[in-house]
Structure 1
Amino acid sequence: MSELVGPVEVIGTGLLGTSIALACRRAGLEVLLSDLSAEHVRTASALGAGRPRTPGDRPQLVVVAVPPDHLGAAIAAALRAGDAVVTDVGSVKAGPLAEVAGEPRVRRYVGSHPMAGSERSGPLAATADLFEGRPWAVAPHADADPDAVALVEELVALCNAVVVRLSPEDHDRAVARTSHVPHLLASLVAGRLADAPADYLKLSGQGVRDVTRVAAGSPDLYGQIVAANSAAVVDLLSEVRAGLDSMIQALTDADRDTLRVLLDRGVDGTRAIPGKHGGPVRPTASVFVSVPDEPGVLARLFAAAGEAEVNIEDVRIDHDLGRAVGLVELLVEESRGEHLLASLESRGWVTHR
C-alpha cells in the first residue's frame, strides 16, 4: 500500500486548497501550488503553504480545489498530466465523476469532500487547523484503485479530519439533505426579510438569525454547488414542498392534529442530528446571563464557568435592541444547570432562568 510522502500538488489556492497545503506543510510534506490566479499562489506561498509548481515536478497526490463548474475539467487534466493519484474537495461527487469516467487513468481518481469552511474566502482565510475533528467524505467510485483510496484517506488523517466513506451517489444525496436544501430554504426565508418594513425587523431575534445565517453565503458559488447536485436537490425539495402544502392546508382548515404531526416530525429531525463528537444528543440546560457589550466580558464569563467546574456545551448570544447589552445563553449538561446558575449569581453575574 502506498504511503503519502509527497509531493502534494494543490490546484486552487483558496480557503480549502491553501488550508490543505498548510496542513501538509505542517506534516513536513513538500507542497506544489497551482492556480489561475498568480496572486493567490504568491499569497499562499508567502503564508508557507508551499511553492509554485514547475514543469519538472512529479506530485504523488494532486488535490483539486477549484469552483464546482470547473471540477471535471481540472480533474481530467490532472489525470492526464502524470501518474499521481487525484482527489478533489468539491461539494458534489457524482457529476465530476461522470465527466472523467472515460479517462484511461480514472482508477487513480478518488473524490472527497471535507465538511469544513468559513464565512471568509481566499488564501488569507486559510488555516492548517480548518479540518480538525471535522467529517471528510471519501467517495471512491466502483473501479477506484484501493491504493489510491488509501492515499486519499492518509491525507484526511494528516489533516486531523475524520473519514466518512460513502459512494458518490450517497454522498450527493446526503449533502442535499444536510447542506444544500437547508441553504436554499434559508435563502427563501431570508428573502422574505429583504423588503420588510423596518419596524418589522426590530422584532428580529436569535431564532430568525439561526434560520437565515447560511443564506449570507456567496450566491455565485452556492448556485454552482446546487446546480451540480440538481437531481438530489430537486427530489428533496419536492418532499419539502409536499410538507409545506400539508402545513398550509392544516392551517387553512385549523387542523391542529395534522399541524402537531408536522411539528413533531421537526422535533424528531433535530434529535436525529448527532451530538458533540458525533455521539448521541445529551439533555442540556440553558443558563441565561446578561452581559455588557464590552471587550473581555465573555472571557470573564467563561472563566467563571470554569471556576464552577462546569463545561459549556454551546453558547448563543442575543443582542439587546436598545442598549449595549447582550443576553448570553450557555448550554450545559442538564444536571449542572442549577449549580452554574448559583455559582454565577454568587459572583455577581445577572442571570435569568
Structure 2
Amino acid sequence: MNTSHLAGPVLIIGTGLLGTSVGLGLRAKGVNVYLDDISPTALGVAQDIGAGSALDEHTPIAPELVVIGAPPDVTANLVAQALLSYPNAVVVDIASVKGSILQALAADARLDASALARYVGTHPMAGREKSGPAAARGALFTSMPWVICAHSESSARAVKTAEALAIDLGAVMHRMGVTEHDEAVALISHFPQAASSMIASRLLSADAHQLGLAGNGLRDTTRIAASDEKLWIQIFSHNSKALIPILTGMKEDLDRLIATLENPAEPGALLDLSQLMTEGNAGQARIPGKHGAPPQAFAQITVVVDDKPGQIAGLLADIGEAGINLEDLRMEHSAGHQVGLVDVSVVPGRREELIDVLTHKGWKVVQ
C-alpha cells in the first residue's frame, strides 16, 4: 500500500550513499523510483539492492520530483539539466552546501524565473563513514534533520514537494535560508571534519606501540577522519567563506594554548588552562541531547563483559527486562585482556536500581 506523500515517479540522479538511500526509503513507501548515474557500476549496485529501476532512455518518464545526489562540484549543472529536461518536475539537490549551488544556478543563462521556481535546495544531515551505494540504508534519514533551503523564487508547489520527500523518509524538517544553512553546517559538520582529519594526520608518524595504547577518546575524535576525502575536498572549497572564520578562531585558541604551555609556571597559566577546559565543557554541554531535547546529564555505569558471542545481547536483554530505558551505550576493549568495558547511560534516578539488577544477575559492575 502506498503511504507516501509523493505521488511519483521520482528520478534520482546520483546513486551514491545518499541517493541510493533515498531510493530505498521511497521504494519502501511504494513510490516508483528511477535511477541514473554516470557510473554503470554504481547504478547497477543501486538497482540490485532495490533502490529503483535504471532509467531507460527509450522509455520517457515525467517525474514529479528529481533528486540530485551528486558531489557539490557538479550539482548545479545537474540541477540545471534536470530543470530543462523535465519542465514539469520539481528538482531538489541533497548536497551539503547550498550557497554556491544557488549562485551558479542564478547565473545560468539557460534558466528563466519559471525554471528556478521549481528548484529547492535541501540537505539531509545524515551519512556514514562508508560511501557508495552498497553502504546505503533505507532508514538512513529516520529521525535525522533534513534542512529545506527554499530560495526567494521557489514556488509553493516546489517547497511542498521537497518537504514531502523529507517526511516520506522519516526525517525531521528544518527550514533555513541558504546563508544561515552554510554557516550552521560549517560549524557543526565541516569544522569537526577538518579538526578530526588534522588530528588523525598526526598519527601517521606514531609508533605502533604508541597506537596500541589508544582508547575510545582517540577513536571518537578521529572517527569521521575516515570519510570520503574526494567529497570533503569539494565541501571545504564550496563552503570556505563560512569555514574560514571558525578555523581562524580555533587557530587563535591553539596559539593561546601553546603560549600558555610554553610557560606553565608563569602566574595565571594554570588559570588560563582551566578556563580553556571550562569553555570546552560549557560548549559540549550545549549540544542537544536525545531526540533533540535539551542536554541532560545521564548517570553512567561500566559493565565488564567477556569477549564472546551473545554477551552484549544478554546485557541489553537484562536491562530491558528490568524496564530501564537505555539512553546511551559505548564499548571499549580492555587492552591485553579478553573482556570489554561497556559504558551504560541511564537517567540518574535509575542508576542505583540498574546496578542492583545487573549485580543480582551476575554482571560485574564497575562503579
Question: What SS does structure 1 have at the residue aligned with 2:320?
Answer: helix
Instruction: Give the Cα–Cα distance (whole angstroms) in 2 for the partners of residues 192 and 117 of structure 1.
Output: 25
State the partner residue of 1:188.
Answer: 198
Partner of residue 211 from structure 1, selected from 188, 198, 221: 221
State the partner residue of 1:37.
Answer: 39
1:50 lines up with 2:52 in the alignment: yes
Deviates more, 1:25-34 or 1:88-97: 25-34
State the partner residue of 1:252.
Answer: 262
- The aligned runs of 1:258-297 (5 Å cut-off) are 258-297=272-311
State the partner residue of 1:340.
Answer: 354
1:135 lines up with 2:165 in the alignment: no
Q: Is the 8 A contact 2:303 2:342 kept in 1?
A: yes
- The aligned runs of 1:286-325 (5 Å cut-off) are 286-325=300-339
In the alignment, residue 307 of structure 2 is paired with which amino acid?
D
Partner of residue 197 from structure 1, selected from 207, 210, 231: 207
State the Cα RMSD in Å. Answer: 1.4
State the partner residue of 1:95.
Answer: 100
Instruction: Give the Cα–Cα distance (whole angstroms) in 2 for the partners of residues 40 and 237 of structure 1.
Output: 35
Displacement of 1:156: 0.3
State the partner residue of 1:73.
Answer: 77
Residue ranges of structure 1 left out of the alignment (5+ in a row): none
Displacement of 1:119: 2.3
Displacement of 1:151: 0.7
User: TM-score of the superposition, structure 2-length normalised?
Assistant: 0.92
Question: What SS does structure 1 have at the residue aligned with 2:137?
Answer: coil
Displacement of 1:58: 1.1
Displacement of 1:178: 0.5
Question: What SS does structure 2 have at the residue aligned with 1:112?
Answer: strand
Instruction: Give the Cα–Cα distance (whole angstroms) in 1 for the partners of residues 286 and 343 of structure 2.
Output: 22
Partner of residue 130 from structure 2, selected from 120, 134, 144: 120
In the alignment, residue 141 of structure 1 is paired with which amino acid?
H
- The aligned runs of 1:160-179 (5 Å cut-off) are 160-179=170-189
Instruction: Give the Cα–Cα distance (whole angstroms) in 2 for the partners of residues 346 and 4 of structure 1.
Output: 52
State the partner residue of 2:7.
Answer: 5
- Percent identity, aligned pairs only, is 41
Instruction: Give the Cα–Cα distance (whole angstroms) in 1 for the partners of residues 29 and 362 of structure 2.
Output: 47
State the partner residue of 1:28.
Answer: 30
Deviates more, 1:328-337 or 1:152-161: 328-337
Displacement of 1:4: 2.8
Q: Deviations over 1:196-255 (max 9, x none)?
A: 122322321111111111111121121111111111111110111111112222323431
1:63 lines up with 2:77 in the alignment: no
Partner of residue 153 from structure 1, selected from 158, 163, 175: 163
Displacement of 1:193: 1.5
Question: What SS does structure 1 have at the residue aligned with 2:277?
Answer: helix
Instruction: Give the Cα–Cα distance (whole angstroms) in 2 for the partners of residues 136 and 176 of structure 1.
Output: 16
Question: What SS does structure 1 have at the residue aligned with 2:78?
Answer: helix
Question: What SS does structure 2 have at the residue aligned with 1:300?
Answer: helix
Residue ranges of structure 2 left out of the alignment (5+ in a row): none
Q: Is the 8 A contact 2:130 2:227 kept in 1?
A: no
Displacement of 1:46: 2.4
Question: What SS does structure 2 have at the residue aligned with 1:194?
Answer: helix
State the partner residue of 2:230.
Answer: 220
Instruction: Give the Cα–Cα distance (whole angstroms) in 2 for the partners of residues 72 and 35 of structure 1.
Output: 15
Question: What SS does structure 2 have at the residue aligned with 1:286?
Answer: strand
Deviates more, 1:343-352 or 1:52-61: 52-61
In the alignment, residue 65 of structure 1 is paired with which amino acid?
G
Q: Is the 8 A contact 2:129 2:228 kept in 1?
A: no
| Aligned pairs, number | 351
Q: Deviations over 1:43-101 (max 9, x none)?
A: 22222222122341111110000122211111111111122111011011111111111
In the alignment, residue 255 of structure 2 is paired with which amino acid?
D
Displacement of 1:158: 0.5
State the partner residue of 1:351.
Answer: 365
User: Which ranges of 4 or more aligned residues in structure 1 deviate by more than 6 Å?
Assistant: none
